Amino acid sequence: MAEQFPELTERLHRFIDRQHMFFTATAAQGTRVNISPRSTDWFRILGPGRVAYLDRTGSGNETAAHLKADGRMTIMFCAVDGPPLILRLYGRGHVLHRDSAGYAEMLADDFAGQEVPLGARQIVILDVDLVQTSCGYGVPFFEYREERPSMDNWESKKGPDGLKEWWREENIFSMDGLPTGIDDPY
C-alpha cells in the first residue's frame, strides 16, 4: 500500500544513500513525457523538502525545457537489492544556469570534495511537495557493478569548447521545440 509523507524522513534519507540510480520524469503542455535515468553520484538531499542533482551533458536536454515551460517533476528511486521499495518525490523543479551565481555557490557548498565533471551543464533543484513510497515488489533484483567510464571519456574527448558547441547544437531545444535556456546569456 502506498504511504505518503509531507517530506523526506530519516529512513528515506538512508534509503536514498544506498541507491545508485534514480529517474526523473517531466512534461509540459502538449509535449511528450520525458523520463531519464541518472546516477546518484551527483544527487544531493538539500533539506527535508529539497533535493538537487548536478546535470551532466546528455544527448538532449528535455528536463530543462520542461521545467522552464511547466515545472512539474517527479523523481523516482527503486530498490534493486535489499528490501523492496519504490520512492517517488513529487514537486516543482527549476534549473540553475551554469553561469548563475547560485550555481557556483551550490557547487562550492553542496558538491564540495568532488571534482566537478567537465560536462556539468546545470543544476536541477526539486522542491518536493509530496513524498510517496510503495511496495516495489515488481522490481527485479540486480547487482550494481560500477559506473560506466563512457561519460568521462566522452567529455574529455570533447573538451570545454567542444562541449559548449554541443550544448548549442544539441541541447538548446527540446524534441518538441521548447527552449531549454542553456544558451541564455547570464
Chain contacts with another protein (rule: CB under 8 A)? 30, 69, 168-170, 172-173, 175-179, 183
Shortest Å, Cβ 2 to another protein: 34
Least distance CB 49 / another protein (angstroms)? 31
- Minimum distance, C-beta of residue 30 to another protein, in the bound complex (Å): 5
Residue placing its CB nearer to another protein in the complex, 113 or 177: 177
Q: Which is nearer to another protein, 17 or 183 (CB)?
A: 183
CA-closest candidate to residue 182, choices 98, 104, 125: 98
Q: Are 89 and 98 in contact (CB under 8 A)?
A: no
Nearer to another protein, 13 or 168 (CB): 168
Question: Residue 163: enclosing H or E segment and its boundaries?
Answer: helix 150-170
Grid cell for residue 119: 560536462
- The CA distance from 161 to 33, in Å, is 31
